[in-house]
């Protein structure tokens, strides 16, 4: 079976986006293609149609391949809860919580499962495009590696090594990585790609020749630096801090912020600025304040309380509009109770008391895809969709009114409530991640902000169609700047006679 693996000299060198591009290019060329990352570490996760959890990077890669995201594309997901601890998700379900050392010692027990998962994919698709994690030159992790060369060896995959020139030192990082690989690992590396290049390529070319002479591996291409409206890797995201448009939306950048992709659809609105803050001095007077999801709600709530930002938020709530998502929703309530230590060592903390709800943390993790309609707001029956990932149970007080009525869970008809809204209607909360992806609810929220500022209401664009155009633009950029003939040779499959015509993307 044809396969190729993109590894990198470090985290955030662009492995994920290169895999995304290759998935779309190969799909355009007429192949059935599937992304695969054996182990991902991320606080950005997603719930599949069958209620399983996976990393967001593989979700974007699935879309690029023309597929519905499924958990076999990312069998192991690690969600950090602190510098040394994480929650382990295996095949979409919680496996347990462990320290870094505990997980390091248990990794090899997953090898058979990973190989089996990959072999099943080989039966279904023409080409598998794999992604490594971090760097294969992390020699302290080599013995138990299941995501870089260890995975490549397990299923006999050829490797492309990517380096980031924007940070500087790309030749040293590529040569140094090769130096630290074992002899059999070096043989797997068939080409390099230099990513995020700015400048005159003619000036760079002598360096490429010298690098090839040093490591004896050809360069498959130099990809220019670009900016597209696509999801970023956790470590690569740039959190904007400036007001750049008439509608000012502020997001609190929590220490353990998760699923910040919830805000991507808002960025697609031309007159909307989304900026991230960490201090009360940065708050200002925004049109909307969003408290996003977090992997550690209680610790993050204590952090913003101690910084004084909580008091600033409570003062802002007198006149401003606030929306909390998942952990942010829990923070808006009266109290957060954690009798079993799900969140950490603190078993109870007082919330902001802006919504009359309480949160009780339980051991069971809720992972569902939902469809919902708004209630108890000025315009009811505004539809949205998304997914739930939480371990907290909401307890409504007498003054709390639900924000949404959920009518579909994982494809089954249902009737239940989600979220809450205060009596004045200006403070809202929901467990639904991706709540702005649907056009109706996003349009309702943004138009209400426009009206307050005497800005003419607008129709919102479908986020999915915008994402598809951006993926096509990405594929176009990468196709123009790498040697696809070399890539096909590495994959071990013949290029189709009539490949996709470069430059046909609609701008």
pLDDT at residue 507, as a whole number: 39
Share the mean pLDDT of the chain.
92
pLDDT at residue 323, as a whole number: 98
What secondary structure letter does DSSP report for 380? -
Whether residue 496 has pLDDT greater than 80? no
Average pLDDT on 425-446 reads 95
pLDDT at residue 343, as a whole number: 78
Average pLDDT on 161-174 reads 95
Over residues 139-151, the pLDDT tens digits come to 999 999 999 999 9
Question: Is residue 341 within 8 Å of 446, Cβ to Cβ?
Answer: no
pLDDT, greater one: 434 or 232: 434
pLDDT at residue 498, as a whole number: 56
Whether residue 344 has pLDDT greater than 80? no
pLDDT at residue 345, as a whole number: 67
Whether residue 504 has pLDDT greater than 50? no
The residues, ordered by sequence, that sit 6+ positions from 482 with a Cβ below 8 Å of its Cβ are: 193, 220, 221, 223
pLDDT at residue 380, as a whole number: 80
What secondary structure letter does DSSP report for 401? B
- Strands annotated E in 375-438: 383-396, 404-409, 412-418, 420-421, 427-430
pLDDT at residue 505, as a whole number: 47
With H, G, I as helix, E, B as strand and everything else as coil, classify residue 469. helix
pLDDT at residue 232, as a whole number: 66
Which domains are present in the chain? Answer: 2-230+468-491 (3.40.50.300), 247-454 (3.40.50.880)
Average pLDDT on 115-134 reads 95
Over residues 285-329, the pLDDT tens digits come to 999 999 999 989 999 999 999 999 999 999 999 999 999 999 999
Query: Where does residue 461 rank: exposed (0-12), middle (13-18), buried (19+ CB within 10 A)?
Result: middle
Mark out the alpha helices in 367-455 (DSSP H runs): 439-452
Catalytic center residues: 326, 433
Binning pLDDT at 50, 70 and 90, where does residue 27 land? very high
From residue 224, alpha-carbon distances to 97, 198, 289 in Å are 40, 6, 35
pLDDT at residue 376, as a whole number: 87
Over residues 79-107, the pLDDT tens digits come to 988 778 899 999 999 999 899 899 999 99
Query: How big, in percent rounded to 5, are the helix, strand and coil portions of the chain?
Result: 35, 30, 35
pLDDT at residue 234, as a whole number: 55
pLDDT at residue 501, as a whole number: 53
Query: Where does residue 174 rank: exposed (0-12), middle (13-18), buried (19+ CB within 10 A)?
Result: buried
Average pLDDT on 355-365 reads 92
Whether residue 497 has pLDDT greater than 70? no
Total-model pTM: 0.89
Average pLDDT on 492-502 reads 69
pLDDT at residue 268, as a whole number: 87
């Amino acid at each position: 079976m044809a396969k190729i693996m993109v590894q990198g000299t470090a985290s955030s060198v662009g492995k994920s986006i290169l895999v995304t591009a290759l998935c779309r290019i190969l799909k355009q060329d007429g192949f059935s293609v599937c992304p695969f990352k054996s182990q991902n570490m991320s606080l950005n996760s997603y719930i599949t149609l069958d209620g399983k959890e996976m990393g967001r990077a593989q979700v974007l890669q699935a879309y690029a391949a023309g597929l519905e995201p499924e958990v076999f594309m990312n069998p192991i997901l690690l969600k950090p809860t602190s510098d040394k601890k994480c929650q382990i998700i295996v095949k979409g379900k919680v496996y347990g919580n462990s320290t870094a050392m505990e997980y390091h010692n248990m990794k090899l027990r997953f090898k058979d499962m990973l190989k089996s998962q990959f072999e099943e994919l080989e039966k279904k698709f023409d080409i598998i495009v794999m992604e490594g994690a971090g760097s294969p030159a992390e020699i302290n992790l080599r013995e138990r590696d299941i995501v870089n060369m260890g995975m490549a060896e397990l299923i006999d995959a050829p490797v492309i090594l990517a380096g980031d020139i924007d940070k500087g030192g790309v030749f040293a990082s590529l040569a140094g990585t090769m130096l630290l690989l074992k002899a059999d690992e070096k043989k797997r590396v068939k080409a390099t790609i230099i990513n995020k290049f700015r400048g005159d390529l003619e000036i760079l070319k002598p360096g490429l020749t010298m690098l090839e002479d040093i490591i004896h591996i050809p360069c498959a291409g130099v990809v220019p630096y670009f900016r597209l409206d696509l999801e970023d890797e956790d470590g690569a995201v740039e959190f904007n801090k400036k007001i750049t448009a008439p509608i000012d939306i502020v997001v609190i950048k929590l220490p353990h912020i998760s699923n910040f992709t919830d805000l991507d659809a808002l960025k697609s609105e031309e007159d909307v600025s989304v900026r991230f803050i960490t201090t009360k001095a940065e708050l200002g007077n925004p049109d909307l304040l969003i408290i996003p999801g977090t992997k550690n709600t209680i610790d993050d709530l204590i952090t913003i309380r101690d910084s004084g930002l909580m008091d600033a938020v409570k003062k802002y709530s007198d006149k401003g509009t606030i929306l909390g998502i998942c952990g942010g929703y829990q923070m808006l309530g009266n109290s957060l109770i954690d009798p079993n230590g799900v969140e950490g060592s603190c078993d109870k903390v007082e919330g902001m008391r802006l919504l009359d709800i309480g949160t009780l943390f339980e051991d069971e993790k809720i992972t569902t895809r939902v469809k919902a309609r708004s209630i108890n707001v000025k315009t009811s029956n505004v539809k949205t969709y998304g997914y739930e990932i939480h371990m907290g149970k909401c307890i409504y007080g007498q003054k709390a009114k639900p924000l949404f009525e959920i009518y579909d869970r994982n494809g089954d008809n249902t009737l239940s409530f989600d979220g809450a809204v205060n009596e004045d209607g200006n403070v809202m909360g929901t467990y639904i991640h991706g709540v702005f992806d649907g056009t109706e609810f996003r349009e309702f929220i943004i138009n209400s902000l426009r009206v307050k500022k005497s800005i003419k209401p607008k129709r919102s664009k479908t986020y999915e169609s915008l994402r598809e155009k951006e993926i096509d633009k990405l594929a176009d950029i990468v196709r123009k700047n790498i040697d696809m003939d070399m890539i096909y040779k590495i994959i071990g499959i013949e290029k189709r006679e009539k490949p996709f015509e470069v430059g046909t993307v609609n701008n």
